[in-house]
Amino acid sequence: MQKENLIKEKTFNFALAIIELYKICKSQNEFILSKQLLRSGTSIGANVQEALAGFSEKDFLHKMSIASKEARETQYWIDLLSQSQLVKFDEIKYKKEIQSIVNILTSIVKTLQDKVKLKA
C-alpha cells in the first residue's frame, strides 16, 4: 500500500477514535481541552484528503505540511490530557497511533521537499 493511501486510512480511523475520546472527555466533564483535541485530531485527515485532491506537487506539499502540524498539535493535546489527569482514558493507544501518523506525515513531507528542491 502506498504511503498516501495508508495515511488517508490511518487519519480517517484516527479521527473516529478522537471523536470517541471527545465523548469520553465530555462524559467526564472535560469540555475545554477536548474541543481543541477534537478540532486538531479531525483536521489531520481533512488536510490529507485535501492534499490528495491537490492541483500540484506544491499544493500537495502545503496540505500535507498542514496535516503534519495538526498531528503534532493533536499529540500535544493528548499529552496534556494524559499528564493533567483530567480524564481517564487509554492514552497509550492514542499516543502510539498519533506518533505513527506524525512519522508517516514527516516522511511524506521530507521526501516531497527533497523532490521539489531537486526540480528547482
The hierarchical CATH code for the domain 3-119 is 1.20.1440.60
Task: Report the b/e string of 27-65 with b at 16+ CB within 10 A.
Answer: eeebeebbeebbebbbbbbbbbebbeeeeeeeebbbbbb
What confidence score (pLDDT) does residue 52 get? Answer: 93
What average pLDDT is seen over the chain? 93
Q: Which amino acid is at 117?
A: K
Q: Which amino acid is at 58?
A: K
What confidence score (pLDDT) does residue 120 get? Answer: 62
Give the count of alpha carbons within 13 A of 110, CB side only.
6
pTM of the model: 0.91
